[in-house]
Structure 1
């Protein structure tokens, strides 16, 4: 399951195949456009230098919090205060929609800058915490990948961001390591 906050955190991409290559997609105009469009947010593109710096700092902090939760930790009071600070600039407009049987309250961002975007990302992360879903936050066990993901499996045992990519790669690596160890024993 893709969430706003995981999509933002994963803008720091690492080659899951082990080449050591990485890419800071946060600075790419094409990534910014696609991200804003996907999540129906508005901000000037391309983001400017100071905005990029703030977003990178924000991303690092959010990744650290996700890693702590994935390791079984919890959010400290200082981290809660930081999240509140990040959400503060995020003004929203509320409106009711639907019929009597299926009314919903919608919150629409009022601002159209990168601080509003970060506030929405922080709010999405906070929503994950409030819904008790922090136990489902994972970091891919492929050390080359480092992808943050939400474990949407029933038994909460997902180990890789994608079973077909990282999962298969790690299975092949384990198989080859076993075969190599067996060959060494035979010699």
Structure 2
């Protein structure tokens, strides 16, 4: 885990601008990909810090999928969502360390993909007709498809943990320079800046 602070406040800023939609109704969507956002539904909060499950109940999961814009889950989807989250968590750890996605975690995702049905629609646009892909399925299908598309074209060094050692958030750095260090500047990034300011002020005083 990277914990070293940058030497100046401007070092982080090119890739650290607060992104719109970091939080939706208080729920974090800052992972850069939908499957990573699911991993982040178990943040560490409070004092002392403890993990909090944002999809602990079927109602919680339905709220999360609504905020994610991926539809309404079925009766069996809540239990499956926890298994899929655990698989994504394991795969994130493996892939961020440079290892290949494989094993039981990948098998869990592949089982979810087995039920996915994709359709094609012809849609009128300003440039004429275009083909639009349509997912005929529920939230778990959308999550599995998001991972499948991601894992075919990703860069392991861009899979990161927030540099705040007290934060559990993970993300995929989509910045041009791959210098993002914080889950979001509105929280952990600003906290670091305040801490560095206080440290400098204390030394100068």
Which of 38, 43, 51 lines up with 2:68 in the alignment? 38
Aligned positions of 1:54-133 closer than 5 A: 54-76=80-102, 80-99=106-125, 101=127, 103-111=129-137, 116-133=138-155
Q: What are the superposed Cα offsets for residues 132-171 of structure 1, whole Å, 9 maximum, x if unpaired?
A: 3454222212232211212121111211111231123234
How far did 1:7 drift? 2.2
Aligned positions of 1:144-159 closer than 5 A: 144-159=166-181
Which of 35, 39, 56 lines up with 1:5 in the alignment? 35
Q: What are the superposed Cα offsets for residues 93-129 of structure 1, whole Å, 9 maximum, x if unpaired?
A: 2212234836543333323xxxx42232121012112
The question of 1:26 aligning with 2:26 is answered no
Aligned Cα RMSD in Å? Answer: 3.1
Partner residue, 1:185 = none
| Residues 93, 109 of structure 1: 8 Å contact kept | yes
| Residues 14, 23 of structure 1: 8 Å contact kept | yes
List runs of 5+ in structure 1 lacking aligned partners.
183-187
Partner residue, 1:53 = 79
**Given the superposition, is the C-alpha separation of residues 52 and 135 from structure 1 closer, same or farther in structure 2, using an over 3 Å criterion?**
same
TM-score with structure 1 length normalisation?
0.72
TM-score with structure 2 length normalisation?
0.67
List runs of 5+ in structure 2 lacking aligned partners.
1-29
| Residues 87, 120 of structure 1: 8 Å contact kept | no
Q: Write the distance in 1 (CA, Å) between the matches of 2:197 and 2:47.
A: 17
Q: Write the distance in 2 (CA, Å) between the matches of 1:76 and 1:134.
A: 15
How far did 1:179 drift? 8.8
Aligned length: 172
Identify the structure with the greater helix proportion. 1
